[in-house]
Protein backbone atom coordinates (compact mmCIF):
# COMPACT_ATOMS: atom_id res chain seq x y z
CA UNK A 1 0.00 0.00 0.00
CA UNK A 2 2.90 2.36 0.62
CA UNK A 3 3.85 2.26 -3.09
CA UNK A 4 0.24 2.91 -4.09
CA UNK A 5 -0.01 5.83 -1.69
CA UNK A 6 3.31 7.26 -2.93
CA UNK A 7 2.09 7.02 -6.54
CA UNK A 8 -1.13 8.76 -5.56
CA UNK A 9 0.80 11.59 -3.93
CA UNK A 10 3.01 11.94 -7.02
CA UNK A 11 0.00 12.12 -9.35
CA UNK A 12 -2.01 14.23 -6.87
CA UNK A 13 -4.98 11.96 -7.24
CA UNK A 14 -6.18 8.70 -5.71
CA UNK A 15 -6.72 5.66 -7.87
CA UNK A 16 -10.32 4.54 -8.30
CA UNK A 17 -9.42 0.83 -8.44
CA UNK A 18 -6.44 -1.41 -7.65
CA UNK A 19 -5.81 -4.82 -9.19
CA UNK A 20 -4.30 -7.87 -7.52
CA UNK A 21 -2.74 -9.92 -10.28
CA UNK A 22 -0.34 -12.82 -10.26
CA UNK A 23 2.21 -12.41 -13.06
CA UNK A 24 1.74 -16.01 -14.19
CA UNK A 25 -1.96 -15.72 -15.07
CA UNK A 26 -3.40 -16.21 -18.52
CA UNK A 27 -6.75 -14.58 -19.29
CA UNK A 28 -9.24 -16.35 -21.53
CA UNK A 29 -11.63 -13.40 -21.93
CA UNK A 30 -11.58 -9.62 -21.47
CA UNK A 31 -11.97 -8.36 -17.92
CA UNK A 32 -14.64 -5.90 -19.01
CA UNK A 33 -15.38 -2.30 -18.14
CA UNK A 34 -14.69 -1.12 -14.60
CA UNK A 35 -17.71 1.16 -14.88
CA UNK A 36 -19.90 -1.97 -15.02
CA UNK A 37 -18.61 -3.27 -11.67
CA UNK A 38 -20.11 -2.52 -8.27
CA UNK A 39 -17.76 0.13 -6.88
CA UNK A 40 -18.67 -0.87 -3.30
CA UNK A 41 -17.45 -4.49 -3.56
CA UNK A 42 -14.17 -6.33 -3.97
CA UNK A 43 -14.44 -8.42 -7.13
CA UNK A 44 -12.70 -11.80 -6.84
CA UNK A 45 -13.22 -15.39 -7.89
CA UNK A 46 -13.87 -18.13 -5.41
CA UNK A 47 -11.58 -21.14 -5.08
CA UNK A 48 -12.07 -23.98 -7.54
CA UNK A 49 -12.45 -26.35 -4.62
CA UNK A 50 -15.93 -24.95 -4.08
CA UNK A 51 -15.20 -24.34 -0.41
CA UNK A 52 -16.37 -20.73 -0.51
CA UNK A 53 -13.04 -19.02 0.11
CA UNK A 54 -11.88 -16.25 -2.16
CA UNK A 55 -9.09 -17.03 -4.64
CA UNK A 56 -5.97 -14.92 -4.04
CA UNK A 57 -4.73 -14.97 -7.65
CA UNK A 58 -6.76 -12.03 -8.97
CA UNK A 59 -8.98 -9.30 -7.58
CA UNK A 60 -10.31 -5.92 -8.65
CA UNK A 61 -10.49 -3.74 -5.57
CA UNK A 62 -12.19 -0.35 -5.23
CA UNK A 63 -9.85 2.17 -3.61
CA UNK A 64 -12.08 2.45 -0.54
CA UNK A 65 -11.33 -1.22 0.27
CA UNK A 66 -7.67 -1.21 -0.79
CA UNK A 67 -6.32 -1.00 2.76
CA UNK A 68 -8.46 -3.95 3.83
CA UNK A 69 -7.27 -6.10 0.92
CA UNK A 70 -3.67 -5.04 0.31
CA UNK A 71 -2.47 -3.98 3.76
CA UNK A 72 -3.22 -7.36 5.28
CA UNK A 73 0.24 -7.64 6.82
CA UNK A 74 -0.68 -5.01 9.37
CA UNK A 75 -3.56 -7.12 10.64
CA UNK A 76 -2.79 -10.81 10.43
CA UNK A 77 -5.46 -12.92 12.12
CA UNK A 78 -4.87 -14.18 15.64
CA UNK A 79 -5.34 -17.81 16.64
CA UNK A 80 -8.76 -16.86 18.05
CA UNK A 81 -9.69 -15.15 14.77
CA UNK A 82 -8.80 -18.32 12.89
CA UNK A 83 -10.75 -20.55 15.27
CA UNK A 84 -13.89 -18.41 14.98
CA UNK A 85 -13.59 -17.72 11.25
CA UNK A 86 -16.03 -18.95 8.67
CA UNK A 87 -13.21 -20.33 6.55
CA UNK A 88 -13.44 -23.83 5.22
CA UNK A 89 -10.09 -25.30 6.14
CA UNK A 90 -8.72 -25.95 9.62
CA UNK A 91 -4.94 -26.06 9.68
CA UNK A 92 -3.18 -27.16 12.86
CA UNK A 93 -6.41 -27.25 14.89
CA UNK A 94 -7.20 -23.62 14.12
CA UNK A 95 -3.77 -22.24 15.00
CA UNK A 96 -2.82 -21.51 11.39
CA UNK A 97 -4.63 -20.16 8.38
CA UNK A 98 -4.11 -19.94 4.65
CA UNK A 99 -3.93 -16.71 2.58
CA UNK A 100 -7.44 -16.91 1.14
CA UNK A 101 -8.92 -17.28 4.62
CA UNK A 102 -6.88 -14.33 5.94
CA UNK A 103 -8.11 -12.18 3.04
CA UNK A 104 -11.71 -13.23 3.62
CA UNK A 105 -11.50 -12.50 7.36
CA UNK A 106 -9.86 -9.12 6.75
CA UNK A 107 -12.51 -8.06 4.23
CA UNK A 108 -15.26 -9.12 6.63
CA UNK A 109 -13.57 -7.20 9.47
CA UNK A 110 -13.57 -4.04 7.35
CA UNK A 111 -17.11 -4.60 6.07
CA UNK A 112 -16.00 -4.98 2.46
CA UNK A 113 -18.45 -7.09 0.45
CA UNK A 114 -17.09 -9.63 -2.02
CA UNK A 115 -18.66 -9.90 -5.47
CA UNK A 116 -18.00 -13.09 -7.41
CA UNK A 117 -15.91 -12.41 -10.51
CA UNK A 118 -15.98 -14.98 -13.31
CA UNK A 119 -12.96 -17.25 -13.35
CA UNK A 120 -11.68 -16.19 -16.76
CA UNK A 121 -8.05 -16.90 -15.96
CA UNK A 122 -5.75 -19.79 -15.20
CA UNK A 123 -2.18 -20.17 -14.00
CA UNK A 124 0.37 -20.69 -16.73
CA UNK A 125 2.50 -23.65 -15.75
CA UNK A 126 4.82 -26.06 -17.47
CA UNK A 127 2.86 -29.21 -18.38
CA UNK A 128 5.17 -31.31 -16.22
CA UNK A 129 4.27 -29.34 -13.07
CA UNK A 130 1.74 -30.84 -10.68
CA UNK A 131 -1.50 -28.93 -10.26
CA UNK A 132 -4.47 -29.83 -8.12
CA UNK A 133 -7.72 -28.24 -7.02
CA UNK A 134 -7.70 -30.36 -3.86
CA UNK A 135 -6.99 -27.90 -1.08
CA UNK A 136 -4.93 -30.08 1.25
CA UNK A 137 -3.40 -32.65 -1.12
CA UNK A 138 -1.10 -32.61 -4.08
CA UNK A 139 1.17 -29.78 -2.97
CA UNK A 140 4.68 -30.34 -4.20
CA UNK A 141 7.91 -28.45 -4.65
CA UNK A 142 10.62 -28.68 -7.29
CA UNK A 143 13.35 -26.38 -8.58
CA UNK A 144 11.64 -26.28 -11.97
CA UNK A 145 8.09 -25.61 -10.79
CA UNK A 146 8.43 -24.11 -7.33
CA UNK A 147 5.48 -24.82 -5.04
CA UNK A 148 2.52 -26.19 -6.92
CA UNK A 149 -0.96 -27.00 -5.81
CA UNK A 150 -3.79 -24.60 -6.26
Q: Using one digit for the tens of pLDDT, what is the confidence trace for 75-116?
A: 777 777 777 776 755 555 555 567 788 888 889 889 999 999
pLDDT of residue 116: 92
Q: Which is more confidently placed, 80 or 58?
A: 58
Q: Determine which of 4-8, 36-40, 66-70, 95-99 has the lowest per-residue pLDDT on average.
A: 95-99
Task: Kindly state the average pLDDT of the residues 121-139.
Answer: 62
**The pLDDT of residue 60 is above 90:** yes
Q: What is the mean pLDDT of the chain?
A: 80
DSSP of 9-73, one letter per residue?
HHHTS--SEEEEE-TTEEESS----GGGS-TTSEEEEEPTTSSSPEEEEEEEEEGGGHHHHHTGG
Show the CA angle centred on residue 68, arms to residues 66 and 73, nearest 5°.
Answer: 110
Q: Kindly report the number of other CB atoms within 10 A of residue 141's CB atom.
A: 10
**The pLDDT of residue 135 is above 50:** no
pLDDT of residue 138: 45
**The pLDDT of residue 136 is above 80:** no
- pTM for the full model? 0.77
Amino acid sequence: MRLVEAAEVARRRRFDWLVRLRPDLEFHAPIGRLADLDARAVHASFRESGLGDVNDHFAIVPREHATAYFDIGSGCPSALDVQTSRCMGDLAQGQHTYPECAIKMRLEQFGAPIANFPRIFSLVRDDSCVRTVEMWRGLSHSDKCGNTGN
